[in-house]
Amino acid sequence: MNIVYLINFLLILTACNHSRATKPPQEMTLNSNPTQNFYDFSIAGLDNNKSINMRDYRGKKILLVNVASKCGFTSQYSDLQKLHELHSNDVQVIGVPCNQFMGQEPGTNSEIAQFCQKNYNVTFPLTDKIRVRGDDQHPIYQWLTNKNFNGLDDFSVSWNFNKFLIDENGKLINHFGSNVKPLSEELLNAINS
């Protein structure tokens, strides 16, 4: 086992154990079990702070997308909404606001919700604004980006509108960069496979 990996793992574990005592119960933290089930995770919702539980979507695919309101890819909200409307029986779209890429999601939860409704009529769930990489990375993104947890590969969230596709059984099956459009043949084929 790589010593750097072990030290990083222990730091994550220590931070998660510390955060269990201080975080609200609706937010599941990553634990030391590399096979932790994706359905154990939840994220606070954007507009009502109600928890979005991944287990509620068991049996359908889930597409998690880190979103931003002031990005060159922001227009993908339109296709994400169309994907939600046309394929909601097969895939649950979840938008994850993040302000880590050149401050392109600076708004409050209320401002983000208003922007999405006014400009794109978004009806798919949006989470609270979180960190998807680096310090204080949300546990669900720790799982999504680390092969030791997700079982598929190591991934880097390089910009806004990266997409993670989870299958009907809670297994990560694909990661798509920002340039892959929500209604692209590549993404739709992955959803329909």
Specify whether 116 is catalytic: no
Q: Which candidate, 127, 141, 56, 57, places its Cα nearest to that of 94?
A: 127
- The neighbour count for residue 49, using CB atoms within 10 Å, is 11
Catalytic residue from among 16, 71, 98, 116? 71
Extended beta strands in 13-150, E state: 42-44, 51-53, 61-67, 91-97
Q: Among positive and negative, which fits the CA dihedral 101, 165, 53, 83? A: positive
Distances (CA, A) of 109 to 68, 69, 72, 180: 12, 12, 20, 26
What is the identity of the amino acid at 20? R
- Active-site positions? 71
